[in-house]
Structure 1
Amino acid sequence: MKNDLEIKSIVKEKYGVIAEQPASQNAASCCGATSSCCGDDVYHIMADDYTKLEGYHEGADLALGCGLPTAFAKIKAGDTVIDLGSGAGNDCFIARAVVGDSGKVIGIEFTEKMIEKARANAEQLNYNNVEFRLGDIEQMPVGANKADVVVSNCVLNLVPNKPAVFKEIYRVLKPGGHFSISDIVIKGNMPEKWKAIAELYAGCISGAIQKDEYIDIIDKAGFTNRTVQKEKLIFIPEDILSQYLSPDEVLAYQSGDVQILSITVYAEKPLEAKAPSCEPGSGCC
């Protein structure tokens, strides 16, 4: 079993490579984790289509997402938006198209090469109200009560300490602010061997937790009006599964015993914010 630092090191190394890959290569893999996992065929496994959204910039789209959180996030002109795991800036630039010149967008990313790519994109677009900060979303480089909206796209599944992230989201949101987060969750018992494979940690699957557990973490963090805005089943092609699972395990997966889901979740920080509940050993305190 890898510890948190080892998992973060794996993710940082993989996403440093991904920053220099073309989007087509990332879209053909499990969240860009590897260029070879899909055999000879190309599958758009996780990513949704951003190309029709205002603010879309092709150079920032690495095809790493699993939803369209900005489309559900109820962003308004003048808002301050924080994007967790901002990559090359794709969701930040979509959000910027909504907040306009009077708003602000802050992307937080812990892979240096991604930050470099995002900042170059922002300079090319001449955006002076989109900022990218190098940092860990378990300890955000942002003051308390700063954001109207927090978004994130297929990132929290990569983070070992999810309760800590939601505690940080609660801290940085203004009272009455909200988040819309797209992420990967699972239903059923995922084979243990998946959780030991580095490529799948960086590919969004092995770091995912049970949907009910994910929702419970949000509720315990103190958020209200929580709702699942969208849910879709992720289909993993057999030629990928067969690289990691036995024929019997592949059949078990295809029978629906295990489901990999993309969900987009919305919740609000109360106007009168209370301290989040915390149980011993939960990692959120």
Structure 2
Amino acid sequence: MSANDTSTDVPDSDQRTNVREEYGEIAGSDEGCCGSNAESFDVTESETTTDRTLSLGYERDDLEDTPEGSNLGLGCGNPVAISQLEPGETVLDLGSGGGFDCFLAAREVGPEGRVIGVDMTPEMLERARENARESDLENVEFRLGEIEHLPVADESVDAIISNCVVNLSPAKPRVLAEAFRVLRPGGRLAISDLVATEPLPREVRENPDAVSACVGGAATIAEMETWLDDAGFVDGSITVEGEWTDGELPIVSARIEGRKPT
């Protein structure tokens, strides 16, 4: 399997446009759960954004300690909890959305640390920056950019987190290669995402609504394992956390981890 393979049949430019438009709309509303099309693809939803967030492993204190508009309920796990952040570290969040995980990470790394959020949707970036102005944290910044072409210097971050975003990329091997580039030696990748336990039907992979709902673009576990290795990560692991869809699609939430060699 080559590093150029992708798990979606939607053309790259169309996929980015569809995702950008979908999440631009979400940024201006209170809608969550991986896009407005989630219900059409049997994505498991809790009654409220708060319920959904708590079901993913967050605590009520997490909701109370972050700006009110930062949590859009878009995740499929809690990457901050698995990343084992230390005071003084620099953290990068791929697809930072409203900034929820960035603000939680900022409290973990403390005032001597730094958190960078990258998102390709201008509306999300505006919302995240507004949330940052409302917080008491001065160690968080948000940058406009694509996760396949990170606006981050080589070997400049200690840890990379992400929450249900990599599945939206039409070039996942490139995302992992970029993550490897910006990590310092010994740095780690700890993301939450959706993966497929078997290849998805073509009609799902070709459906732009399914892709925007975080379902159609889910790579298989075998693909992700190969791409982690190809990028150069060691100690790579993919840990299934639970089923994600109530229908026939073989989608699960998972922890995806790896380390850059020292």
User: Which band: TM-score by shorter chain?
Assistant: 0.7 to 0.9
Residue 119 of structure 2 corresponds to residue 118 of structure 1: no
For residues 254 and 68 of structure 2, the distance between their equivalents in structure 1, rounded to whole angstroms, comes to 24
Match among 187, 194, 198 for residue 197 of structure 2:
187
Unaligned runs of 5+ in 2: 1-8
Residue 251 of structure 2 corresponds to residue 260 of structure 1: yes
Matches within 5 A, 1:98-137: 98-137=108-147
Quote the sequence identity (%): 38
Q: Deviations over 1:204-232 (max 9, x none)?
A: 00011111111110011111112235521
Tell me how large the CA RMSD over aligned residues is: 2.1
| Alignment TM-score, normalising by the size of structure 2 | 0.87
Matching residue of 1:26: 32
For residues 117 and 134 of structure 1, the distance between their equivalents in structure 2, rounded to whole angstroms, comes to 12
The structural deviation recorded for 1:126 is 3.1
Unaligned runs of 5+ in 1: 239-252, 272-285
Paired residue secondary structure (1:26): coil
CA contact (8 A) 2:67 2:134 kept: no
Q: Deviations over 1:218-258 (max 9, x none)?
A: 0111111122355211133x5xxxxxxxxxxxxxx2xxxx5
> Would the alpha carbon gap of residues 74 and 195 (structure 1) be closer, same or farther in structure 2, given more than 3 Å must change?
same
For residues 218 and 200 of structure 2, the distance between their equivalents in structure 1, rounded to whole angstroms, comes to 10
- The aligned length equals 245
Q: Which has the larger radius of gyration?
A: 1
> Would the alpha carbon gap of residues 68 and 109 (structure 1) be closer, same or farther in structure 2, given more than 3 Å must change?
same
| Alignment TM-score, normalising by the size of structure 1 | 0.80
Match among 11, 31, 41 for residue 3 of structure 1:
11
Matches within 5 A, 1:188-267: 188-236=198-246, 253=248, 258-267=249-258
- Greater RCO (CA < 8 Å, at least 6 residues apart): 2
Q: Deviations over 1:118-169 (max 9, x none)?
A: 0000000032210000001111001001001000000000001111111100
CA contact (8 A) 1:104 1:129 kept: yes
The structural deviation recorded for 1:35 is 7.5
Counterpart amino acid of residue 26 in structure 1: G
